[in-house]
Amino acid sequence: MNKIFSISEIADLNKNNITSKDNFEYINYLDTSNLTRNKIDNIQYMESNFPSRAKRKVSKNTILYSTVRPNQEHFGIIESNLIENLIVSTGFTTIDLFSPEIDVKYLYYKITQPSITKYLQNIAENSVSAYPSIKPEEIGKLNFRFPNLPNQKKNSFLFISIR
């Protein structure tokens, strides 16, 4: 199998957001500047006065991709549920895979390739906002060729070893 899918065909973008029904006593907040190339340097524990951008809920295997200045590589994947009440900035697009045909790590490494980062940065530089940014829809429109699931799993380890 070698199929081409757009991200919006295999994943939900910005699926889970805080609503008025949520009543968190505390959150663990991740801002775009605190995540670079899947490395978190700080998570802010907050009991009150949550930032207005603290809106996106994440879970295990959520991919985060900053919509601001893609060339700064503020992207990562949530690989566990160990951090309770983890909320991320609306500066991230959250990508939650729903297709059983796709390995989340394979998708993560596909969308974080330097050529894709450069492509998204070019879009950002032509945006009409005050700073280079992309819309979540631009991420959703990205198309990739996917081999069968066993090959994706095997190849995702190859991506890990060369990064």
- Section 76-105 average pLDDT: 95
Instruction: Please report the pLDDT score of residue 162 as a whole number.
Output: 42
Query: Domain 2-162: which topology?
Result: Adenine-n6-DNA-methyltransferase TaqI; Chain A, domain 2 (3.90.220)
Instruction: Please report the pLDDT score of residue 60 as a whole number.
Output: 95
Q: How far is CA 150 from the centre of its chain?
A: 23
- Section 118-144 average pLDDT: 93
- Section 105-128 average pLDDT: 94
Name 146's Cβ contacts closer than 8 Å, sequence gap at least 6. Answer: 1, 2, 3, 4, 5, 101, 102, 106, 152
The model's pTM is 0.93
> Amino acid identity of 35?
L
Name 89's Cβ contacts closer than 8 Å, sequence gap at least 6. Answer: 29, 30, 31, 32, 51, 53, 54, 55, 56
Domain boundaries, the chain: 2-162
Residue count of the chain, please give it.
163
User: What backbone phi and psi angles, to 5 degrees, belong to 76?
Assistant: -175, 180
